[in-house]
Amino acid sequence: MRNEPAESVLSALESILLVAPGPVPLSALVSALGLPRRDIEAALAALAAELRRGIRLQSHAGTLRLVSAPENAEVVRRFLGTVRPPSLSRAALEVLAVVAYDQPATRAEVEAARGLDSDRPMRTLIARGLIEEVGRRAGPGRPAEYGTTAEFLEYFGLTSLDDLPPRPEPETATPEELGFRPQ
């Protein structure tokens, strides 16, 4: 592969991502195609740029998957016969904003940023699959660290964490100003 990825590589990537039962690690794509990682990354960037209509390439925590475009969420829900999940409370949106921008973040860091107890909203976000434990911090008590999930990206119509809007000043920002509006 020189400058432009070969059509056969783009086709293979698209097919693999289409039939995969879930997110695909980048390493699995490298292995399946037998190409250098940098060539696969270039091909994925080209593929993402080509996807314009109802499909997006979503990247999260070193994994990739094809997802439906966020602007089609309502018609897809109607087709599948699913209901829109209940809206998140303001407290849950605040916790989610802290975790999204500061990840990995501990419960103590979330509570310090909010100035409020965050146990209930964090449990809600974990139950909804929007945040998850991603590790343990070294130090006393080894507190859990939390990060966002691929479902978080899907819920907010993002293809990666790079799509998050710039972080506004925390003392004046509302969750909506942080860009947290479900699709």
Higher pLDDT, 170 or 97: 97
Domain ranges within the chain, ordered by starting residue: 7-68, 90-163
5-16 pLDDT, tens digit per residue, is 788 999 999 999
What tokens does 123 get? 């449990």
CATH number given to 7-68: 1.10.10.10
Residue 128 has phi, psi (to 5 degrees) of: -80, -5
What tokens does 31 get? Answer: 């292995």
C-beta of residue 144 within 8 angstroms of C-beta of residue 122 = no
Residues 7-30: what's their mean pLDDT? 93
Q: What CATH number belongs to 90-163?
A: 1.10.10.10
Res 172: pLDDT = 60
Same CATH topology for 7-68 and 90-163: the answer is yes
The reported pLDDT for the residue numbered 179 is 60
Q: Where are the beta strands (DSSP E) in 19-119?
A: 24-25, 55-60, 63-68, 105-106
**List of residues 6+ apart from 178 with CB closer than 8 A:** 93, 97, 100, 101, 165, 167, 168
Distance CA 114, CA 129 (A): 21
pLDDT tens-digit series, residues 74-113: 898 889 888 777 889 999 999 999 999 999 999 999 999 9
